[in-house]
Amino acid sequence: MGTPAGNGQAAQEDRWIPSACTICYGGCSILAHRVNGTLVKIEGNPASPVGNGRICAKGLSGIMILYDPNRVNYPLRRTNPRKGIGIDPGWKRITWEEALEEIQVRMEKLRAEDPRQLMIQVTTTLAPSSLLFFTFGWAFGTPNMWVAGGGIHCGNGAHAVGGIMHASWSLVPDFKHCTYALYFGASKGHGAGHAATPNMEQAADARARGMRMVVVDPICNFAASKANEWVPIRVGTDAAMALAMVNCLLNELGIWDADYLKTKTNGPYLVRPDGTHARDPESGKPLVWDAATGAARAYDDPAAKDPALLGTYEVAGEACRPAFELLKEHVKRYAPERAERITGVQAATIRRLAREFGEAARVGSTIVLDGVRLPYRPAAAIYFRGAQGHKNSSHICFAIDLLNQVVGAADVVGGALGFNPVCHGHPETGRPRYVPRAERDGLMTPGTWMLPHLPYPPAEPRHPDSMGFIELFPLSHVSPLMASADQEQWWQRFELPYRPKMLLNYGANSLMSVGNKDTVAETLGRFDFVVSFDLFLNEFSDFADIILPDASYLEVLDPRPNFPFIFNHPAGPGTWGWPIRQPVVPLTHERRSAREVLLGLAYRMGLGPEMNMALNVFYGLDGPQMLDPKKAYTFEEVADRELQHKFGPTHDLAWFKEHGVITWPKTMEEVYWRPFVDVRVPIYWEFMLGLGEKIRRIAASRGMTFDPAYYSPLPEWLPCPSHEVEDAAYDLYAFYYRDVLHTNGFTMENPWLDEASRMDPYSYRIALNTETARRRGIRDGDTVWVESATGRRVSGRVKLTEGIHPEGVGIAACAGHWSRHQPVARGKGVFFNELLEVDYEHTNPVNLNLDLCAKVRVVP
Amino acid sequence: MRYGMVIDLKRCFGCYGCQVSCKAEHATPPGVFFARVVKRETGTYPNVRKVYLPMLCMHCEIPPCEAVCPTGATVKRPDGIVDIDRELCVGCRYCMQACPYEARYFNDRARWYFGAQGPTEYEALGYAQHPVGVVMKCNFCAHRLEHGQLPSCVVTCPTKARTFGDLDDPQSEVSRLIKERCGEPLHPELGTGPSVYFLPA
């Protein structure tokens, strides 16, 4: 605020403290203005590239989270043994010692029996720092950890395909050089969380520069409203449109980047009639057909000067064809006319967009940047939550990314960029350093990843012994079976040798963030004991036994709020920045930082060696900074070692507390790395055949349905359960979208954001097409029920709009809270997730993404 | 010298950053917005456009609010800022009737964001600058300008849609943008001579 010393007296203290926002996982760099001990303003930190001094409405509103009188101030224990939705736990204040003592006793007993009985639950809102909780899980010995609602909603498909094709978590157009950006259900640069504010600035720059932007989406909101063209599409059908566009490029327009496909993809790898690669009998390497010498050679044989992309060649008595030729044949099944029937997008529009995209890519062109000649493909197709959040998640993302791959617009100037998959490190230390590398069959694996198991090559599927069956589905990150209606059925069939007994929760409100509340409530009821670190009591708290009052992001230290850089550091040319998060005000009441508590708990339980080694792995600590297994550390000491490890002894925690961020320039070789790194990406996922067969054998033996269509080497459009509802009364597709004002359900309690949401025409309303509503006699402002074909329903007020597909029902964010402990959030907006089924039937069997659309009817 | 602002509607996508930034800077009570965002929709499906219009005091050259102020509380400063002297304002609210841009708010009673739970530490401090019974509005963050800082909404805007400067200086960035991008004030026909210009989307 401008004149904080309202009483006219001079301020005793007036400081701007550099730190990092954590109201969404973008983690933008901030400066917090503290006057006489009170936080009076948050602004962006101009010294950091993670925001360049800019900050969004959410980030500005952190003051109202910090000072919310509804925060939890003391450890609480339930007195009412009955747990259930809306049943008052009868909270009683206890001491920290009482709380920790009980948790310790229970955990030690649990660990002695079987550590896998502990489940750890975190939230995307606090990612990536919440991953520190996973180190506790590693130390404890449980594989049962998840990001409740994250992954299964926003990214199992997007991130796995991002990893396989771009060595990164997410994609953006190269805002600096792209001239044609095609968004499928994405809002990058218009409110999306990854690198949120830097992308907003870059997207605005691109708009001003004249980048043409086409947004394929059922709803015309933030991204589509700023686009040159909005292409309304039937919910969940993006793959059909993308495949039809690839068809147009390859079979109608004859546009593809042969050089790129030959050298940077497996396009020339020969495929046998059974779909597997023809391989060199000795090395096992995939073969290509060298047109120059008329012979089959290993893909990396220097003698293979001109690998064929098209044709049929006899190898070992079999007619083999290059993978690219198979792709070209495959997409012929997606004529624009067929895609029109599936998507509702006119065939002529699909053809036009394919031509525009193909021409914009300028295949064969180069550009000189910083004296280096680089491939120039200024066209990009990106996807995110909207497109990928369906049962066909894996194929959808693959299909959309093929647009980039066939024209060579992947991680080159102007094209689709993964977020920072190459980093050569700070000039003084060379750290952090990571580069994608070639793995099995010369295909790429990321140089850094969010989680221990890499997307490629997929791990060997095996009989699961974790709650979510991740071992059986190695291309998944997070599993809905952690809170699904059918979890017990699957655990029985697969003879899971234990049951989860204790849940350690960090800030997640899984009762609302996963799917319908009744299903999740049933799974939460299975735990004997639930401990939750949280800022507020909420709907989830009704199932907790002990609540621990957490510190807010303005009261804690974190040495890496933006690492790994593939997660939320801005992509494209510019500057690297490694900021820290630090307390801007001291803790009050009996709140404590969950990180400190967790570390203390580990030491208290005698898990010091395991915890320290897990921290060494998580932070990549080695050499003098490696934690000694025999010693106990404070979190400050761990943070200090992490920073010195990355940036040298002169850049220790004290240095970072003063300066807030360290920066160094990005090089062209890092940003546009594709020509400089000898890796290929698969346009034909041969590995899916073997992977699928292995999964089928394990799954089928336990009565788990396995549809091989999801494991085909080339993408298909496969319907969601919502597309197969036959009852004509259910005639609309409900979906949710990200509101620029909100992060998950967390921000609903913030009164500044609530106030803006109440002023916004859409935030708290159900968006319905005007004509669709007119036919049903529904008027603007009416209260209606949205009822799913599976018998679930939510109510809310209608906002009539021309900006939504006639078959769409659009609902923002994760709203509709009912907890009395969050009076600002209570009763605001619509609880979309109530419409979602959570079971294997509604899950992508490749990456375990949940299907996030529901066939519904809207009734008064 | 005439302070003015240019808002590029091509860059703005309605994120509410300006609205909340202003709230944080001025500690305005619930329901008071020196800066706000108005959203409208035009066209028919599928040729629909959303209009995001950031609003604030237009700091008019001929401020209708000043003309009707009976106590001289509302003044047009030499630098172009239209400001209110809290000591002189008697809360008659004629100015609110006169302002065609609905930029003014009346602080009728003490109120805070968590209602009966009382003011937060931040509000207790910040609301002291807003006496009850007077009219309040945007003053282009005059207190920041004094310290060489740009208005809060300008520095926060994630899309850099806002440019601030001297409209009297033909070389200034604001003057250049208005000229090159055909900037227009809102409702120029009212003849108040606003100092806030909008560039077309």
Q: The domain that contains A243 carries what CATH number? A: 3.40.228.10
pLDDT in tens, A41-91: 999 999 999 999 999 999 999 999 999 999 999 999 999 999 999 999 999
C-alpha to C-alpha distance for B120 and A67, rounded to whole angstroms: 6
Clarify whether residues A136 and A170 are in a common domain: no
CB atoms within 10 A of CB A499: 15
For A771-784, letters b (16+ CB in 10 Å) and e give ebbeebebeeebeb
For range A726-753, the mean pLDDT: 97
pLDDT of residue A3: 56
Which residues of chain B does A60 touch, with a Cβ-Cβ cutoff of 8 Å?
17, 20-21, 23-24, 156
Clarify whether residues A411 and A523 are in a common domain: no
**Residue A403 vs residues A247, A269, A346, A354, A399: alpha-carbon distances, Å:** 10, 19, 19, 9, 7
pLDDT in tens, A336-361: 999 999 999 999 999 999 999 999 99
A2 vs B43, B121, B144: nearest CB: B144
B122 vs A38, A226, A755: nearest CB: A38
pLDDT of residue B95: 98
pLDDT in tens, B4-20: 999 999 999 999 999 99
Contact A642, A625 (CB under 8 A): yes
Q: Do B16 and A756 touch (CB under 8 A)?
A: yes
Residue B116 touches chain A, beta carbons under 8 Å: no
B20 vs A60, A220, A231: nearest CB: A60
Furthest-apart CA atoms within chain B: distance in Å: 53
Average model confidence (pLDDT) for chain A?
Answer: 96
Clarify whether residues A211 and A290 are in a common domain: yes
Residue % of chain A over a pLDDT of 70: 99
Q: Which residues in chain B (124-163) have CB-CB distances under 8 A to chain A? A: 125-126, 128-129, 141, 143-144, 152, 155-161
pLDDT in tens, A393-415: 999 999 999 999 999 999 999 99
Q: Do A69 and B117 touch (CB under 8 A)?
A: yes
Q: Is the pLDDT of residue A5 over 70?
A: no
Q: Which residues in chain B (40-69) have CB-CB distances under 8 A to chain A? A: 41, 43-46, 48-50, 52
For range A632-640, the mean pLDDT: 97
Q: Do B15 and A69 touch (CB under 8 A)?
A: no
> CA angle A823-A827-A830, nearest 5°?
135
pLDDT in tens, A577-590: 999 999 999 999 99
Contact A246, A358 (CB under 8 A): no
Clarify whether residues A113 and A256 are in a common domain: no
Which residues of chain B does A186 touch, with a Cβ-Cβ cutoff of 8 Å?
none
Which residues of chain B does A69 touch, with a Cβ-Cβ cutoff of 8 Å?
114, 117-118, 120
Contact A125, A113 (CB under 8 A): no
Count the domains in chain A.
Answer: 3
- Give the relative orientation of helices A393-406 and A238-247 as an angle to the nearest 10 degrees: 30
Count the domains in chain B.
Answer: 1
In the 3-class helix/strand/coil scheme, how is A757-820 assigned residue by residue? HHHCCCCCCEEEEHHHHHHCCCCCCCEEEEEECCCCEEEEEEEEECCECCCEEEEECCCCCCCC
* pLDDT-based confidence at residue A229 (cuts at 50, 70, 90): very high
Residue A267 falls inside a structural domain: yes
> In chain B, whose CA is at the least distance from the CA of A233?
B46
Clarify whether residues A282 and A381 are in a common domain: yes
Closest CA to B67 of B58, B77, B76, B59: B76
Q: Do A54 and B157 touch (CB under 8 A)?
A: yes
- What is the mean pLDDT, run by run of 10 residues, along chain B of 201 residues? 98 98 98 97 96 98 98 98 97 98 97 97 96 97 97 98 98 98 97 98 94
Which residues of chain A does B155 touch, with a Cβ-Cβ cutoff of 8 Å?
43-44, 53-54
Clarify whether residues A244 and A388 are in a common domain: yes
Which residues fall within 8 angstroms of residue A321, CB to CB, at 6 or more apart? Answer: A270, A271, A311, A312, A313
Q: The domain that contains A811 carries what CATH number? A: 2.40.40.20
Which alpha helices (H) appear in B16-120, and where do they start and end?
Answer: 17-26, 64-68, 94-98
Q: The domain that contains B139 carries what CATH number? A: 3.30.70.20
Q: Is the pLDDT of residue A214 over 80?
A: yes
pLDDT of residue A7: 47
Whole-structure pTM value: 0.97
Contacts 24+ apart (CB under 8 A), A91-98: A91/A537, A91/A547, A94/A546, A96/A590, A96/A592
Which residues fall within 8 angstroms of residue A829, CB to CB, at 6 or more apart? Answer: A748, A757, A763, A764, A796, A811, A812, A813, A815, A816
For range A202-216, the mean pLDDT: 98
* pLDDT-based confidence at residue A451 (cuts at 50, 70, 90): confident
Residue B98 to chain A, least CA–CA distance (Å): 23
pLDDT of residue A149: 86
Burial of A626 by CB count in 10 Å (0-12 exposed, 13-18 middle, 19+ buried)? middle
Residue B168 to chain A, least CA–CA distance (Å): 26
Clarify whether residues A491 and A387 are in a common domain: no
Which two tokens mark A825?
A: 């959030």
Which residues of chain A does B49 touch, with a Cβ-Cβ cutoff of 8 Å?
225
Q: Is the pLDDT of residue A6 over 70?
A: no
> In chain A, whose CA is at the least distance from the CA of B16?
A57
Compute the residue count for chain B: 201
Q: Do B156 and A222 touch (CB under 8 A)?
A: no
Determine the structural domain holding residue A131 and report its residue range. 76-155+456-553
Residue A613 falls inside a structural domain: no
Clarify whether residues A399 and A479 are in a common domain: no
Which residues of chain A does B31 touch, with a Cβ-Cβ cutoff of 8 Å?
755
Determine the structural domain holding residue B105 and report its residue range. 3-199
Q: Do A769 and B128 touch (CB under 8 A)?
A: no
Residue to test with chain A: of B28, B37, B156, B199, most A Cβ within 10 A: B156
Contact A507, A544 (CB under 8 A): no
- Give the relative orientation of helices B17-26 and A751-759 as an angle to the nearest 10 degrees: 130
Which residues of chain B does A821 touch, with a Cβ-Cβ cutoff of 8 Å?
none
Residue B78 touches chain A, beta carbons under 8 Å: no
- Which of the listed residues A501, A529, A553 is the one where a domain comes to its end? A553
Pick from A79-83, A123-127, A518-522: least confident: A123-127
Clarify whether residues A387 and A460 are in a common domain: no
What phi and psi, each to the nearest 5 degrees, are found at residue A31? -120, 125
**Residue A86 vs residues A79, A80, A368, A533: alpha-carbon distances, Å:** 15, 12, 63, 20
For range A381-391, the mean pLDDT: 96
Clarify whether residues A344 and A385 are in a common domain: yes
Query: Does the structure's ipTM exceed the value 0.90?
Result: yes
Q: Do B19 and A756 touch (CB under 8 A)?
A: yes
Residue A480 to chain B, least CA–CA distance (Å): 32
Clarify whether residues A151 and A175 are in a common domain: no
Residue to test with chain A: of B9, B16, B42, most A Cβ within 10 A: B16
* pLDDT-based confidence at residue A2 (cuts at 50, 70, 90): low
Residue B27 to chain A, least CA–CA distance (Å): 6
> In chain A, whose CA is at the least distance from the CA of B8?
A208
Which two tokens mark A570?
A: 């801005």
pLDDT of residue A1: 74
pLDDT in tens, A796-830: 999 999 999 999 999 999 999 999 999 999 999 99
Average model confidence (pLDDT) for chain B?
Answer: 97
Clarify whether residues A303 and A397 are in a common domain: yes
- Which of the listed residues A525, A553, A581 is the one where a domain comes to its end? A553
C-alpha to C-alpha distance for A312 and A314, rounded to whole angstroms: 7
Contact A213, A370 (CB under 8 A): no
